[in-house]
Amino acid sequence: MESKSNSKIHNNVLSTIGDTPIVELHRCLPKTQHQFFAKLEFLNPGASVKDRIALSIIEAAEKSGELKPGGTIVEATSGNTGVGLALVAAVKGYKCIFVMPEKMSEEKRKTLRAYGAEVVITPSGVEPDDPRSHYSVAKRITVETPGAYHTNQYHNVANITQHYEVTGPEIWKQMDGKIDAFVAGAGTGGTISGVGRYLREKNPKVNIVCADPIGSILYDVFYHKKPIDPVGSYLVEGIGEDMLPANMHFDALTDFIRVNDKESFTACRNICRTEGMLVGPSAGAALAAAIKFSETLKTPSKILVLFPDSGKSYLSKAFDDNWMRQNKLID
């Protein structure tokens, strides 16, 4: 990843990625003996944690020669990785084609198109190996497009490497090594696996906790080595999986906490209204899981929760009372 300049003026927007702040949480919590902190990844220039891997994946592909000048970037994305890739591509001069399941918000689609990307929409809820899935369609487009490079965030090692080499050390330094638990969701698995591995190498007693939506297979695979409950649909975007990404390293984690849509969306709205942070539902899921996990801890602990993206991508969903009522998430 490009190093940040010592100058107060950045050469381009890419050097502003990372070094996001950590703040202590107060009013969005129940009465507790623990301290909760949030890593504000929505303050990256593309408004999500995925900016980090977008830059590292593209730079690795440039270095290997897999992505050549004037090439086309193709990715299956829930939106945030697409935005990160699109802003990197804009600076570096690449074309982009992104494939998204239809459940993803209209704001995400419009944001990708604003960067000049082509957006292909596929059905939600189909098997990963189904020719109609966003994974399969992205692979087909890559084969059919001259000069295309499939960034393949789910299996690209540059994803987890970036979080191990950059995000993890950043967190450790910001917390002065005083952290008892790190809580985040997992989509590709790269963030929680990379950060988790680094933190546990620094202190094996740190708990690495994954917030997993009900309907995802990850909880079952972690505890039972295979899916037990059938794959289900859920409304929270960007976390949970119906297949096992190569960047999901279970040995870097200690615990999984299941959360449902109502818990995730309620916490998301509460964070905004009590802490002044407009975050997405996956941040709500992480906080809800962190609060549940904290109830198992007997001694006062410092718990860091990753807030991965901005609520601006969900104004028509999480922050729309009519949509929330239609989906039975509020009375």
Active site residues: 50
Burial class (CB within 10 angstroms; exposed 0-12, middle 13-18, buried 19+) of 69: exposed
Burial class (CB within 10 angstroms; exposed 0-12, middle 13-18, buried 19+) of 231: middle
Q: Which amino acid is at 171?
A: I
CB 209 within 8 A of CB 179: no
Q: Which of 186, 182, 195 is nearest to 240 (CA)?
A: 186
55: which strand partners? none
Neighbours of 18 (CB within 10 A): 18
Q: Which amino acid is at 18?
A: G
Structure token digits, residue 307? 């807030």
Structure token digits, residue 154? 């789910």
CB 101 within 8 A of CB 75: no
